[in-house]
Amino acid sequence: MISRGAIIFRQLFDRSCCGYSYLIGDRSQNIALLIDPVLECVDRDLKLTNELGLELKYVLNTHVHADHITGSGMIKNRLNTKENLKVMSIISESSRAQADICVSDGEVIDCGSIKLTVAYTPGHTNGCMSLIDHLNRRVFTGDTLFIRGCGRTDFQNGSASKLYDSVHSQLFTLPDEYNVFPAHDYNGQSVSTVGEEKKFNPRLTKSKEEFIKIMENLNLDYPKMMDVAVPKNMICGG
Amino acid sequence: MISRGAIIFRQLFDRSCCGYSYLIGDRSQNIALLIDPVLECVDRDLKLTNELGLELKYVLNTHVHADHITGSGMIKNRLNTKENLKVMSIISESSRAQADICVSDGEVIDCGSIKLTVAYTPGHTNGCMSLIDHLNRRVFTGDTLFIRGCGRTDFQNGSASKLYDSVHSQLFTLPDEYNVFPAHDYNGQSVSTVGEEKKFNPRLTKSKEEFIKIMENLNLDYPKMMDVAVPKNMICGG
């Protein structure tokens, strides 16, 4: 047996978009799910999943990404046959994207002993969700909450006001010691905690008015991949 | 309190050299050590250490790096005064580098409840050490063992034969479930286990003769940073 623990957890990084994917496996049933896979990393991710003796059951996207094409379509193409839909894609209902399963706030995604509670956290896009693993005291925050930052709110029906409310009502109400695993980090950090972000996040510790002003004045470039990535990701990679 | 656990553990990444540093803190005494800090990341690392309410006690280098300048010198300059040597640098005796403390195989580095056992693992350089945290079932393998790979052995008194022996006698003899945390990963993986590397490492699962042949035929470029980094790192950043 490779791992003593019942849960296998791997944080995986894509350098081109500074994106994190998360492989979570249940060793007792040898099944797994993958959060926010990246197209260019599918070979790596499937090789690892296979070496760990895990069968992928779900590929999840926390939202319709604008900076990379999701790996979920290719993973499904590789592993599924017409007769056997082994892997299913999951995205939020409110994203209005196509997936095998669309989930809403409060639903629990069930994969063996892995239970992820969906928290609807719009703001970066109108369809963003976070995923809470209460058992392991972790939350996957997508592009809603970053380590000492947050996702931009200037496209895809983004809203600074909604993002602020999402973080304060859905994420900062979790216990302080919950680990925060974002979908991106541009500064080499891998994990934070709810308590830390409540205390040190330079944007989200501000008042809502100040936060909105900060977000309005970021003057960010139009995302390079946006026009290619969004249509593909609206069908979870096709 | 930020973290419920007694031990704070943070993996930190530097994209320019694909290097990992590790901050390990003991929450009960609020002291910490930092393994393989990178010069360009000192601001980030000290800010995080400070936010977590930790006082750095040791900065360790697993070896004299050739691809980046260690952050240990700058960290000492920032935090120490002539009267108060708060932070001390550590490196292996066999590296022949200058540091406040030089350690040898079997010694235990003690930082509150953090206990790191030194394992002398030459091969990438003649002074490489790995650090075993038995309590948390982790090993920091420096450039000796990578995830599905290993450090090069063609400079700094490197030896493929020695690296092979180091891995097989010092690392592959650890329990299978110990997590492997390397000093680099070029493929976006963050952690492995001893059991996985024993089974899937494409180089180190080979016979010693085959391994030596693989390492002799890598034909790698001369490291860009080598002539600047090695002299600086021989004095742990100065």
CB B180 within 8 A of CB B197: yes
Q: Say whether A44 and B3 touch across the interface (CB within 8 A).
A: no
Q: What is the pLDDT of residue B128?
A: 98
Q: Do A2 and B193 touch (CB under 8 A)?
A: yes
- State the nearest Cα–Cα gap between A65 and chain B, in angstroms: 19
Could you identify the residue written with the tokens 């024993």? B198
Domain assignment present for residue B48? The answer is yes
Q: How is residue B52 written in tokens?
A: 């977590």
Contact between residue A104 and residue A93 where contact means Cβ atoms under 8 Å apart: yes
0.90 exceeded by pTM: yes
Both structure tokens of A38: 């990246």
Neighbour-count burial for B189-228, b at 16+ CB within 10 Å, e otherwise = bbbbbbbbbbebbebbeeeeeebbeebeeeeeeebebeee
pLDDT at A232: 92
Closest Cα in chain B to A198: B2
The interface predicted TM-score (ipTM) is 0.94
When divided into structural domains, chain A yields a total of: 1
For residue A235, tell me if it sits in a domain: no
Written as one string, the DSSP assignment of A114-128 is EEEEEEE--SSSTT-
Report, as ranges of residue numbers, the positions in chain A whose pLDDT lies below 70.
1-5
Contact A188 B1 (CB under 8 A): no
Provide the strand spans (E) within A74-208. Answer: 88-92, 101-103, 108-111, 114-120, 129-133, 138-142, 145-146, 149-150, 179-182, 192-193
What distances in angstroms separate CA B3 from CA A134, A180, B26, B27, B54, one per listed residue?
A: 15, 12, 11, 8, 12
By C-alpha distance, which of B193, B190, B172, B202 is closest to A2? Answer: B193
User: In 3D, which of B167, B235, B227, B154 has the Cα closest to residue B201?
Assistant: B167
| B50 contact A CB<8A | no
CA–CA distance, A35 with A53 (Å, rounded to integer) = 18
Sequence-distant (≥ 6) Cβ neighbours of residue B221 within 8 angstroms = none
List of chain B residues whose C-beta atoms are within 8 Å of the C-beta of residue A47: none
Distance between CA A122 and CA A128 in Å, rounded? 5
Q: Are strands B31-35 and B101-103 parallel, antiparallel or unpaired?
A: unpaired
Identify from B39, B190, B191 which residue to disrupt to test chain A contact, counting A C-beta atoms within 10 A and taking the largest count.
B190
Residue of A nearest to B52 (CA): A196
- Does residue A233 belong to any structural domain of this protein? no
Substitution target from A1, A9, A13, A185 for chain B, most B beta carbons within 10 A: A13
Give the mean pLDDT of chain B: 95
Residue A232 lies in a domain: no
**CB pair distance less than 8 Å for B177 and A3:** yes
Q: Which of B200, B201, B205 to mutate to test the interface with A (most CBs of A within 10 A)?
A: B200
Question: 């239970």: which residue's tokens?
Answer: A115
**Cβ atoms B59, B74 nearer than 8 A:** no
Note whether B11 contacts A: Cβ–Cβ < 8 A.
yes
Range of the domain at A129: 7-218
Q: What distances in angstroms separate CA B179 from CA A9, B127, B136, one per listed residue? A: 11, 23, 9
pLDDT of residue A1: 37
Nearest to A188 among B15, B199, B200 (CB): B15
Residue B144 placed within a domain: yes
Which of A180, A209, A204, A207 minimizes the C-alpha distance to A192? A180
Q: In chain B, which residues have their Cβ closer than 8 Å to the Cβ of A195?
A: 1-3
Indicate yes or no: CB of A177 within 8 angstroms of CB of B10.
no
- Say whether residue A193 is in contact with chain B using an 8 A CB cutoff: yes
Q: What is the DSSP letter of B220?
A: P
Residues in chain B within 8 Å Cβ distance of A193: 2-3
* C-alpha torsion A144→A147→A150→A151, nearest 10: -70
A45 is a domain residue: yes
How big is chain B by its Cα radius of gyration, in Å?
A: 17
User: What confidence score (pLDDT) does residue A2 get?
Assistant: 39
Handedness of CA B79, B82, B84, B87 (dihedral sign): positive
Closest residue to A190, CB basis, from B4, B13, B41: B13
Residue A195, chain B, CB below 8 Å: the answer is yes
Q: In 3D, which of A16, A54, A13, A65 has the Cα closest to residue A46?
A: A54
What CATH number corresponds to the domain at position B16?
Answer: 3.60.15.10
Q: Calculate ∠ Cα B7-B9-B15, nearest 5°.
A: 170
Residue of A nearest to B6 (CA): A177
Assess contact for B11 and B181: CB atoms under 8 A: yes
- Residues of chain A with C-beta less than 8 angstroms from the C-beta of B5: 177
Per-residue model confidence as pLDDT tens for chain B (238 residues): 344 469 999 999 999 999 999 999 999 999 999 999 999 999 999 999 999 999 999 999 999 999 999 999 999 999 999 888 899 999 999 999 999 999 999 999 999 999 999 999 999 999 999 999 999 999 999 999 999 999 999 998 999 999 999 999 999 999 999 999 999 999 999 999 999 999 999 999 999 999 999 999 999 988 888 999 999 999 998 8
Nearest to A176 among B2, B18, B187 (CB): B2
Which residues on B lie below 8 Å from A187 (Cβ)? 44
The answer to whether B35 contacts chain A (CB < 8 Å) is no
Closest partner residue to A11 among B5, B48, B190, by Cβ? B190
User: Is B235 among the domain residues?
Assistant: no
| Cβ atoms of residues A225 and A69 within 8 Å | yes
Name which of B31, B84, B82 is nearest B59 in CA terms.
B31
